Amino acid sequence: MPAYSTQKSHQYEALSYVWGNPNDTQSILVNGHYFQVTQSLYTALLHIRDDQLVRRLWVDAICINQNDDDEKTSQIPLMRDMYGYTYLVLVWLGDVADNSDEAFETIRLSGEQALYGNIPL
C-alpha cells in the first residue's frame, strides 16, 4: 500500500463498518493483489461500489496490516485523524434487518426536527 500523510488533505473517503466474524472471509482485489476481508467488509464494499466513480477509500482492515502488532500499535492511535481529515465518512452497519428502515427513517426525521427547532433536545 502507498503511504499517505495524515495532513488535512481531504482527498479520500473513509469507511467505518461493523467488523463481523473474523473467520468468515472473502477475497477482494487491492492494487492487483488478492486480499482477505471479513464478509461484513466485503458486503459493505459491494454496497458502496460505483463502477462510474474512481474513489480513494481508507479502510482500517486494509490500510493497517492486521497481522503486524507493531504496525497496529502505531497506526490505531492515528485512526481519529484518518476519520477526521477525510471529506466523507461512509458508515456501514450491516444488511437490512427487521424494521431497520423504519428506525433509520425515524432517526432522520428526528434529526431534521431537532435541526429546525421543531422538537426539544
Q: Which pLDDT tens digit goes with each residue over 25-62? A: 999 998 899 999 999 999 999 999 998 988 899 999 99
Does residue 62 sit within a domain? yes
Query: Measuring CA to CA, how many Å separate 110 from each of 70, 96, 105?
Result: 43, 20, 8
Question: What per-residue confidence (pLDDT) applies to 25?
Answer: 96
Does residue 55 sit within a domain? yes
pLDDT at 120 over 60: no
pLDDT at 63 over 70: yes
Q: Can you give the residue range of the structural domain that contains 27? A: 13-95
pTM of the predicted structure, to 2 decimals: 0.72
Question: What per-residue confidence (pLDDT) applies to 42?
Answer: 97
Q: How far apart are the first and last CA of the chain?
A: 44
Q: Would you give the DSSP letter of residue 78?
A: G
Number of domains in the chain: 1
Say if residues 64 and 71 touch (Cβ distance below 8 Å).
Answer: yes
Does residue 65 sit within a domain? yes
